[in-house]
Each structure stands twice: as structure tokens, then as C-alpha cells.
Structure 1
Amino acid sequence: MVLTAEITVSTDTFALGSLFETFPNAVVEFEPVVPLQGDRETNTPLVWITGVEPERLLPALRKTDDVEAVQRLATVDENVLLELEWGDDLDGIVQPLLDTGGRLLTARGTATNWKFDLLFDSHVSLSEFNMTVTNNGIPVTLRKLSSSTVQREPSDGDSDRSILPNHRETLLLAYHSGYYDTPRECQLAELASKEDVSDSALSKRLRRATASLIERTLLDDESVGDPSYE
């Protein structure tokens, strides 16, 4: 089961928020990009910006703390397509989204707020994201939540790899390393070292993966409740 959450946050809690202080009529929309070169695409998004003169826009973006570099790719009427390179200190909702394995599907920013469509692989991941962002002092408004079961006919020799798109490899590594054996052949710290993450991060990842596996194999849509946003 995958979950799509439509949320809004205040403008100043996401990258480029300071842009609207100078250009209150600006509209920022992220262009979906299919990753082909590892992590580079996550660090160099494509964005359309309207409502700002291009000659004023680029100098303003280069002065923001969020942007390391900016390149104009195209100008169509009053729409400017830019490639941005993020700085190293992104905060707000970005790090919690990365930590919980969430995916950013769409993003639209105005002087009023940022609206996001986010994809999570389980209710646990979504709840952890919401809790972390809220604890960071960022109010999140949930506008819409929908769920669906991912189904795909496996080909010969292809077991159901679509069950856990984000955590399958972690579960398999833990299994083959003897983490689930009794007694354990591999401790959490050793497994975390193999994954090059902290013990805490790996423990959370394994819990999310296990919860997602249970939801997708033992529960149906009607038996899974919505996460709490209080």
C-alpha cells in the first residue's frame, strides 16, 4: 500500500521561501524529473517561476542561502525554467522527508504557502514524517490523504519486488546477515555500519519496512486506519 498526502506549510519553512519576500507575486512550481544519475537529481531540481522578471530573478536567487548555483534553461512568455543546485544546509521539511523515505511528487509555492503532494510507502513513514516536522516547529496542514495497493504481475524469476520499493534491500541485507536469526548472527550496530547509517536511523528504517510489509501482505485497505494529525 502506498499513501499520497497533500499538505501545506507556511512559505518560510521550505527552500526559496525568502524569494516571496522580494517578489510576492511569484509562483514556483517544481518540474518532475526522472532520476538517472543517482543523487544528483535530488540536488539539482528543475523549477518553473512566473511573476518575476528574469533579469531580476537570477541575481535574487543567487543571494539566497538555499541555492548554491542557478542556471536558466528556457524562457516561455513570462515563465522561466531554471536548474537549481541546493546548498548543503537545507532544513524545514526536506531532511524529515529524506529520513522517512518519502517522495516529493509535486510542489507549488506562493507568498501564501507551499503545497506538496508527497508519497509514502506506509502509514508509519507518514506518521513519523508528520511527527518530526511538527516537533521541529513547522505546522503541517493535511489537505487530502489517499491510499492504494500497488499491484504488478511479476515476470519469471522476479519475485514481488514491488512490495517494498524503498526498503526491500535493507530487509534482505538484514535477513542474509543473520539479523533475524536466533541467536542473532549480526547486531544492529554491525548492520548499520554496512548501510553507512546510524543505529537509530537503521532501526527506524527496519520498523518502517516491517510495517509496510505487514500492511501490504496481511491487511487490506479497510483494516488500515488513517494516521493521526493532531
Structure 2
Amino acid sequence: MVVTAEITVPADTFALGSLFQTYPDVVVEFEPLVPLQSDRETNLPLVWIGGVEPDAVLSALTEIDGIDVVARLATDGEKTLFELEWSDELDGIVQPLLDTGGRILTARGTVDHWTFRLLFDSHVSLSEFNMAVTGNGIPVTLRRLSSSTIQRDAVDEAGDRSLPPNHRETLLLAYHSGYYDTPRECQLADLAAKENVSDSALSKRIRRATASLIEHTLLADEDPEAPPRD
């Protein structure tokens, strides 16, 4: 089951929000991307920014905490396309998105607030994202929520149910490394070292992957009209 959530957060709680303090008329919109890298690599977002001279925007972007590299790619009318690279020290909503596997479908910022349309692979991931963001002191307003159940005949090229690739990779790595053996041949710290992430981040990833596996297999076999079992 995939979950789509539309949320709003105050303008100054997202990395690019500081632009509005200097240029209140600026308009920021993310360009949708088809990800070509694994979930263990940081996404490089493309952002359209209008209402301000490109040179001024470029200068302002390089001063924002949480952004390491900025490249100006193209100009279309009054908007300019920039490529950004997040730094290793992330906060706000960016790190929670990376930790929970959330994806930005659309994002638009104004001087008042940011509106995000986000995609998660389960309600568990969405809940973890919300807890992490509110734990960072950011008020989140949920404007719309929808979910879509994976059809039972949906299979990937390997013949498996449509488990998200990043979750499939995590579970297979844990399995082949002996994490599920009794006694365990590989501890959580060993797996985390292989993935170059913290123990806590990998533990969350395994829980999300397990929940996703249940949703895409066990729950897919249940009759949605059947009453719950005792």
C-alpha cells in the first residue's frame, strides 16, 4: 500500500525558506524527478525559482545551511532552474524524509508556508516521518491523505509481489548476512557498517521493510470485506 500525504509547514522550517526573508515575492517549485540512484544516496533536487534575478538567487542559495552545492542549469522566462545538493548535516523535514524513504512528488513555497505532496510506501513510514518532524519542533498540517492498495496480481520482473526495491534490498541483505539466523551470525551494528548508516537508521529501515513486506504479501491475501480475526 502506498500513501500520499499533502502537508503544509511554515516557510522558515524548510532549508530554502530563508529565501523568503530576503525576497518575499520569490516563488519556489520543485521539478519532479525519476530517481536513478539507490535510496542510500542523497537525492539532488531540481528547483525552479522565479521572481528574483538569477544571480541574486544563486548567491543566496550558496549561503543557506544544509545546502553544499548549487548549479544554475537553465532559465525559462522569469524562472531559473537550479540543481541543489543537500549537505551531510540535515534537519527540518529533509532528514526525516531520507530516513523514512519518503519522496517529494510536488513542493511549492511562498512567504507564508511550504506545501508538500509526499509519497510513502506505508502508513508506518508516514507515521515515523510525522513523529520525526514534530520531534524537530516543526508544526505539520495534514491537508489531504490518500492510499492505494497494491493489486494482488501486481508482480515485478522477478515474479514477486511489488515490494519497493529499497525494502527488498534491505531484507535480502539482512537475510544473506545471517541477521535472521538463530543464533544471529550478523548483528545490527555489522549490517549498519556495511550500509554506512547508524544502527538506529538501519533498525528503522528494517522495520519499515518488514511492515512493507507484510502489507504487500500477507495483507494482500486477505479479503478486505472479511471481519478481523480474533
Q: Identify the TM-score tier after normalising by the shorter chain.
A: 0.7 to 0.9
2:197 is aligned to: 197
Residue 104 of structure 1 aligns with an amino acid whose one-letter code is I
Answering whether residue 183 of structure 2 is matched by residue 183 of structure 1, we say yes
1:76 is aligned to: 76
TM-score, with length taken from structure 1: 0.84
Compare 32-41 and 206-215 and name the one that shifted more. 32-41
How many residues align? The count is: 221
Distance 2:169 2:117 in 1: 26
Distance 2:39 2:211 in 1: 26
TM-score, with length taken from structure 2: 0.84
Compare 90-99 and 38-47 and name the one that shifted more. 38-47
Report SS of the residue matched to 1:16: helix
Matches within 5 A, 1:49-88: 49-88=49-88
- The question of whether the paired residues in 2 share the 8 Å contact of 1:92 and 1:138 is answered with yes
Residue 172 of structure 1 aligns with an amino acid whose one-letter code is L
Answering whether residue 128 of structure 2 is matched by residue 128 of structure 1, we say yes
Give ranges in structure 2 of 5+ residues lacking alignment.
226-230
RMSD between aligned residues: 2.5
Percent identity, aligned pairs only, is 75
Residue 165 of structure 1 aligns with an amino acid whose one-letter code is P
Alpha-carbon deviations, 1:77-113, whole Å to 9, x = none? 2122222333443321011111111112211111011
Compare 63-72 and 168-177 and name the one that shifted more. 63-72
Rate the CA distance shift 1:102–1:53 in 2: closer, same or farther, 3 A: same
Distance 2:88 2:14 in 1: 14
CA positional deviation for 1:61: 2.5
1:102 is aligned to: 102
CA positional deviation for 1:40: 11
- The question of whether the paired residues in 1 share the 8 Å contact of 2:39 and 2:166 is answered with no
Give ranges in structure 1 of 5+ residues lacking alignment.
224-230
1:226 is aligned to: none
Distance 1:205 1:45 in 2: 22
